[in-house]
Structure 1
């Protein structure tokens, strides 16, 4: 393979990897309302209020606060101010909770903001009381 063809192949693979990452979310906001997040306290129950102020750049929802909760069987869910509870993981979806899509925020690049940080914080609630 010539050097030129090798460069084209590497460029194509890099572009495909970037596209895959964008499609999966992960984009954030370059200018969120909170640029200096307020840390969440260590969880003491399976339910915890979480706000945009806690997650800053990684806040993934269109609402400014929600209640994260771990329900039976490691079901990670979040309840928004209108009272709707949404699934954050497969176990919660399988239990019948609504898909998070209606309240999921789009990032600056147009892709959805990753749920990773919110899911991680919510799954920590599952360890409380065990």
Structure 2
């Protein structure tokens, strides 16, 4: 199955294989995001002036960021959000814009459908989630 490439973790694969009925699993859905590289320092000279060590003004950073940031990250999050709405999970999903992910409890069939969503990079189990019932 081509959609299983985004599903990570033996625990989640076993859940998908052995699932029955309406059992749910807490998962983290990571969106596709552009790769980020650390900025390089122009030249090879040693910087000794504290003023030259300061970051550029905020306006210059905003201009630079506007040129570099493409719509792929926000588009991927939008694709996932639309898939969650289609599956009826949008009310339960917790969105994390900083990491570009959603946390939600979903059934095996819903996880398979989410894995087929174009904006999904990875789906992994939420290991920090504790079952309240036990």
TM-score, normalised to structure 1, is: 0.26
State the structure with more CA Rg: 2
TM-score, scaled to structure 2: 0.25
